[in-house]
Amino acid sequence: MTATVAPDVGRGEAVLARTAAADRRRVRSERAVLWAGTAAFGTAILLFWQFGLGHLVNPRYVSDPATIAGRVGELAAEGEIVRHVGVTLGEAAVGFAIGSVLGLASAFALAQTRRGYAVFEPFLVGFYSIPKIALAPLFILWFGLGTTPKIVMAALLVYFVVFVNTATGIREVRPGLLQVCRVFGASRRDLLVKVTLPSAAPAIVASIRITVTRAIEGALLSEFVASTQGLGYLVARASREFDIATVFAGIVIIAAVVMAANGLLRFVEGRLSPWHGGRVHG
């Protein structure tokens, strides 16, 4: 009723070795294509902008990469750039700290009450719907032209995202986890510290990362409306003076700052929460 089989083992080794070699070749060539493609694409864009675009539209409107790079260099040499970046980043950082602390605190306060979230939900939706930029003039009326209105705007943008994500993270703790721990005899404090907080953590951490961009945006936005320093001021002034190269130089610097901040936070996030699965709202 049965038949036994004895396989050939030696050929297995050969197949393994061949597969490994083929895979290394494939990975290497794929990587080469990607690098070459990415570099070629970027170079093509820059070359076209430098030499081609000016023939299609008035060069006054689009400037060119060399001029823009020159402007970035000049701004850096004058030291002006450091001042503006410092101002904007400072406003964003303070606003970020205030906004995220308040967001966390109010979400946890609300989670202590049984129906708190249900009561406040419609108001939250309402506040969420306010285009925050429209509040910029109000903040200027209230706090003047200094850094305070920028900090408030940055904090506001951060606050809502952190608040909503934290509240959602807390409410989405799996009821099974809480039940099991209650059966173990956990106190309310235990539940908060050992279950709710860690299971909401990925959502909170992820929301904090995306709000760094929001904080910078908030600072820029209010600098556009009225200010005497900062990257937003730099771009807005250049734009009023029709100095397109400086406008683009400012945007390049802004993008670099945002990307650096993002990269830094991604790194920190990877260190802080090795487990993942946080969903980000907002």
Partner 1 sequence: MSTAEKVGENVQTVAVGFDHVYKAFVARGRRSEPVLALQDVAFDVRPGEFVSLVGPSGCGKSTCLNMVAGLATPSEGTVTHQGRPVRGVNTAVGYITQEDNLLPWRTLAGNVELGMEMRGVQRAERRGRAREFIELVGLAGFEEHYPHELSGGMRKRAGIIRTLVYDSDVVLMDEPFGPLDAQTRVILQAELLKLWQRSRPTVLFVTHDLVEAIALSDRILVFTANPGTVKREYRVEIPRPRDPFRIHETPGFGELHEALWADIRAEIGGGAP
Partner 2 sequence: MRAHEPTPAGTAVLDATRRAHHADRAAERRFLVAARLGIVVVALAGWELASGTLIRSFYVSSPGDVAATLVDWAVSGELGYHGAFTVTAAVLGYVLGAVAAVLVAWPLAVLRTVHRITEPYFLVAYSIPAVAMGPVFILWFGIGMTPKVLIAAYFVFFIVFINTVAGFQQVPTGLLDVTRVMGASRRDQLRTVLLPSALPFVLAALRITLPAAMIGAVTGEFISSNRGLGYLTRAAASSYSTAGVLAGVLSLSVIVLLMNLLLRPLRNALRWQPDVDVPQAADGR
Residues found near partner 2 in the complex (CB under 8 A): 33-34, 37-38, 41-42, 45, 61, 115, 118-119, 122-123, 125-126, 128-138, 140-142, 157, 160-161, 164, 213-214, 216-217, 220-221, 224-225, 232, 235-236, 238-239, 242, 244, 247-248, 250-251, 254-255, 258-259, 262, 279-282
d(CA 163, CA 188): 21
Smallest distance, Å, CB 93 to partner 2? 16
Which of the listed partners (partner 1, partner 2, none) does 126 bind, with a CB threshold of 5 to 8 Å by partner kind?
A: partner 2
* Residue closer to partner 2 (CB basis): 102 or 225: 225
Give the chain's end-to-end CA distance (angstroms, integer): 65
**Contact at 8 Å (CB) between 165 and 206?**
yes
187 counts as binding partner 1 under rule CB under 8 A: no
d(CA 208, CA 108): 15
d(CA 18, CA 186): 56
d(CA 109, CA 271): 27
Smallest distance, Å, CB 44 to partner 2? 11
274 counts as binding partner 1 under rule CB under 8 A: no
* Residue closer to partner 2 (CB basis): 195 or 247: 247
Q: What is the CA radius of gyration of the chain?
A: 27
Which of the listed partners (partner 1, partner 2, none) does 73 bind, with a CB threshold of 5 to 8 Å by partner kind?
A: none
* Residue closer to partner 2 (CB basis): 135 or 201: 135
23 counts as binding partner 1 under rule CB under 8 A: yes
d(CA 64, CA 80): 22
**Contact at 8 Å (CB) between 234 and 118?**
no
Tokens standing for residue 119: 């009561």
Task: Name the site residues for partner 1 (rule: CB under 8 A).
Answer: 1-9, 11-12, 15-16, 18-20, 23, 27
